[in-house]
């Protein structure tokens, strides 16, 4: 599947890319009284070799999905929260982007089918999530999903793991 999505890798400051890309969604969260935070570790490489348009789209899709499922605030109760975390692991030269929310969560029976069609179904759980996965896989990475649906312990965290600093760094 890696060949299915052509990449235009450029050395990109991912912190700046995501901050500017997500500004519209941040304002939407504020209007809904939803807490939206972006935290980035200090050791994130300034110039990650990624396709900035595709990564920006993938992360914006995840944040947009979270906005749809997180509880909006009311006069009597504050809204939910979305937390975007950027990290880097030196040992594996891997950039991580985590979109975590405190929405209702995804039932465990549906998690394995988020990025593909389940048996007997005509469509995947979400075309957007399938495409997010395709973009990450095209970068040589992977997507991980953790979700909880019980009582007060609910929410979803989707992690994009993007290898950078490998022999796939060439641009073009």
28-70 pLDDT, tens digit per residue, is 999 999 999 999 998 888 899 999 999 999 999 999 999 999 9
Residue 24 lies in a domain: yes
| Residues 6 or more apart in contact with residue 86 via CB below 8 angstroms | 14, 15, 18, 38, 39, 40, 41, 44, 95, 96, 97
Model pTM score? 0.87
171 in any annotated domain: no
Q: What is the pLDDT of residue 120?
A: 62
Query: In the structure encoding, which two tokens stand for residue 165, read together?
Result: 């600093």
The whole-number pLDDT of residue 117 equals: 60
Q: Which domain holds residue 14?
A: 2-163
Q: What is the CATH number of the domain that holds 36?
A: 3.30.565.10
Number of domains in the chain: 1
Q: Which residues of the chain carry a pLDDT beneath 70?
A: 1-3, 117-126, 166-172
Return the closest-CA partner of residue 58 out of 108, 154, 126, 117. Answer: 126
């Amino acid at each position: 599947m890696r060949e299915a999505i052509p990449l235009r890798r450029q050395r990109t400051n991912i912190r700046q890319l995501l901050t500017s890309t997500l500004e519209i969604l941040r304002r939407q969260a504020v209007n809904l009284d939803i807490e939206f935070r972006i935290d980035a570790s200090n050791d994130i490489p300034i110039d990650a070799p990624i396709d900035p348009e595709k990564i920006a789209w993938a992360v914006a899709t995840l944040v947009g999905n979270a906005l749809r499922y997180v509880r909006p605030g009311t006069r009597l109760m504050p809204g939910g929260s979305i937390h975007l975390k950027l990290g880097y692991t030196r040992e594996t030269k891997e950039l991580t982007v985590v979109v975590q929310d405190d929405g209702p969560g995804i039932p465990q029976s549906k998690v394995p089918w988020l990025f593909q069609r389940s048996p007997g179904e005509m469509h995947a759980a979400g075309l957007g999530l399938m495409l997010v996965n395709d973009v990450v896989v095209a970068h040589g990475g992977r997507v991980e999903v953790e979700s909880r649906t019980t009582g007060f312990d609910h929410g979803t965290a989707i992690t994009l793991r993007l290898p950078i600093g490998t022999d796939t760094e060439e641009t073009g």
